Amino acid sequence: MSLKAFHLVFVTLLTGLAFGSASWAFASGHPASGAASLIAGLGVVFYGVYFLKKLKKIRYL
């Protein structure tokens, strides 16, 4: 597995972990932790989009 492919897998897993943590925190009654996890998840999504755009410019995976 190339480093770029591993990076994409890692970003995908991190996104799921952040949103899963946010939903767990909101369900457990911890709104501050849920909001922090939600913001982190959105940040990872934006980073993933940035990385994919950068990866398309490189053209090999």
pLDDT in tens, 13-37: 999 999 999 999 999 999 999 999 9
**What pTM was estimated for this model as a whole?**
0.85
Q: By C-alpha distance, which of 19, 20, 22, 14 is closest to 51?
A: 14
Q: Half-sphere exposure of 44 toward its Cβ, with a 13 Å CA cutoff?
A: 19
pLDDT score at 3: 85
Is the Cα torsion angle 50, 40, 15, 42 positive or negative in sign? Answer: negative
User: Which residues have CB under 8 Å from 50's CB, separation 6+?
Assistant: none
Q: By C-alpha distance, which of 1, 2, 7 is closest to 54?
A: 7
pLDDT score at 2: 85
Residue 57's pLDDT band, with cuts at 50, 70 and 90, is: confident
pLDDT score at 42: 98
